[in-house]
Structure formats: C-alpha cells, structure tokens
Amino acid sequence: MEMENRTVVSEFILLGIPNTKGHETILFIGFLAFYLCTLLGNLLILSAILADSRLHTPMYFFLCNLSVVDLGFASISTPKLLVSLWAKSRTISLGGCMSQVFFFHFLGCTECLLCTVMAFDRYVAICHPLRYLIIMNWRVCTILAAGTWISSSFCATILTSLTFMLPYCGHNVVDYYFCDIFPVAKLACADTYVIETVTFTNTGVVAMTCFFLILVSYVCIVYSILKMNSAEGRRKAASTCASHLMVVTLFFGPCALVYTQPQLSKVLVTAVHLFGYVATPMLNPVIYTLRNKEVKGALRKLRGGQTTAR
C-alpha cells in the first residue's frame, strides 16, 4: 500500500470551471469566440504596425510586444479549456501542466514589465519631447524589450522548477481549469511553504515595483500636462496615455484581486482569472484601435482603403 501511495504522477486532471455543469456548449461557443477575436485582433495590430512605416516608432514597437504577449496569454489555457468543454477530456500530461505554469508566469511577468516600459516611454515622450528620439533610440528600445522577455523567462523558470521539484505521490486532481502554482502545489506530498513563500514574494515584489514605477511615471506626466499652455497640447498628451492606462488597469486589477485577497471564493477567483487572461487579451487591441487614429489609418491601409488625412 505504501508503494502504491508513492506512485509518481505522470498526468493531472483539471476539474474545469466550477458550477458550469450542463452549460458546456454555451461556454464552448463563448470561449471560442473570445479566442478567435483575440487572435484576429492582435494579428491585425501586428500586421498593421509592421506594414506601415509611419508606425515604426518606440510606442508601436512596444505595442507589438504587447500583442505577442496577448496572443500567448490567450493560447495558454483556452485551447485546453475548449477541448475539455467539447470532448469532456480533462486530462493533461505532466509536461503540459508544466508548460501552462511556465508560460502563465512567463507572460504575466513580461506584460507587467512591458506595461512599466511603456509608461516610461510615455513619460519621456511627454516630459522630454525634444530629447525623445535620442533617449528612446532603437538600441535602448531593443534592450528594454529583450530585458523584459529574458528576465521574465528567468523568473518563470525558477517558479516552475520549484513547483515540479515537489514530490507528487498519487493525488492528481487539480481543482481549477488550468495548471497554476497554488492549485498544483496543493497536491504535493511535502511541505509547500517554500514554493508558496517564493511565489508570493516574487509575484508581489515584481508587481508592486512595476506598479510603483508606473505610478511615479504618471505623476510626472500629469504634472507636465498641467504645465502646458496649449489646451490642444494637453488633450493630445492625455489621449496618448489613456489607452495605456486602460491596459494597465485591466492587467493589474485582476492580479491585485487574485494575489492579495486569498480569502476570495473559488468561483470569484475563477471569474477574475477568466476576465484577466481570456477577455483582456481580446480587449487590448480594441482599446488601442478605438482611441488611436494612426492605428485606424494603418488598418485601413492594410485592407486597401484610404488612410486618414494627415
């Protein structure tokens, strides 16, 4: 019996979204629509920016990076969730579970750092407009973008390694719709204090540091906008920041609820996660398109229409 209880886990079973029995078809159609819209929206943004030389600027370079992150986020759990809803297949291999944990924290950390870099870009553009192209040259932009991806992969590798170094001795039912550190670590037959502490510290330190830097950037931006003499200048400066602020709110809002309120019910946490990591990647392209005439013009040019007058 002892040998049986020490069986090494080679696969996990995902219980899925709670309290949704009997609604699988509706959920499948809804999540499929979200996923397809996310893919279409972000691929259109990427294509429009790459095709229009006028958008080859630091701001849109970072927006391209954000679109890649959103494409990745949408593909972490949604395809497996769709399979689970349609084919009732809830089993995921150990490698698949490890991949979900890694890419979830890899892309989450990348978006967190990317939002900070984009805030710095807006700060330089508004507070130091005459030196903008000197400060945000392509070498600096490349280093900042590469730094976000490399440091995020390092962070995700540590968290994933710590999670799956724990012994799993037979319990393999993950009480969630995808593999994340805390639902998986609960199944380990060993003390999980270290991994839980490291995860809370890591995610908390990264997120709070980024949020503080973004806050400082926007305090400086608001101060510079208030000092402008031209009402039109103030309006244009505020407009360039509005889209980024909405993206920051959509990203940090769900993170704050999930990771700072552990007493939240599983149903509410799942709803927040679904909004943050299924709906938000679809909304980001919409936000930047609706509030940006240059992106609208590039999309018209991409489909062969007339660009807006300059």
Measured between alpha carbons, how far is 29 from 35 in angstroms, rounded to an integer?
Answer: 10
Query: Is 12 in a helix, a strand, or coil?
Result: strand
Q: Which residue has the tokens 């170094």?
A: 165
* For residue 307, pLDDT beyond 50: no
Residue that wins the pLDDT comparison between 95 and 235:
95
* For residue 199, pLDDT beyond 50: yes
* For residue 49, pLDDT beyond 70: yes
The strand pairing partners of 91, in sequence order, are 13
Q: What percent of the chain has pLDDT over 70?
A: 91
Taking only the tens place, the pLDDT of each residue in 203-249 is: 778 888 898 999 999 999 988 888 887 777 788 777 778 888 888 88
* For residue 153, pLDDT beyond 70: yes
The pLDDT, as a whole number, for residue 102 is 95
User: Whole-number mean pLDDT of the chain?
Assistant: 84
Residue that wins the pLDDT comparison between 255 and 188:
188
Mean pLDDT of 165-180: 85
Q: Which domains does the chain have, with CATH numbers?
A: 2-302 (1.20.1070.10)
Q: Which residues of 12-43 are buried (b: 16+ CB within 10 A; e: fewer)?
A: bebebbeeeeeeeeebbeebbebbebbbebbe
Q: Is 304 left (phi over 0), alpha (psi -120 to 50) or beta?
A: left
Taking only the tens place, the pLDDT of each residue in 104-140 is: 999 989 999 999 999 999 999 999 988 999 999 999 9
Quote the tokens at residue 210.
Answer: 């980024």
The answer to whether 106 and 45 have CB atoms below 8 angstroms apart is: no
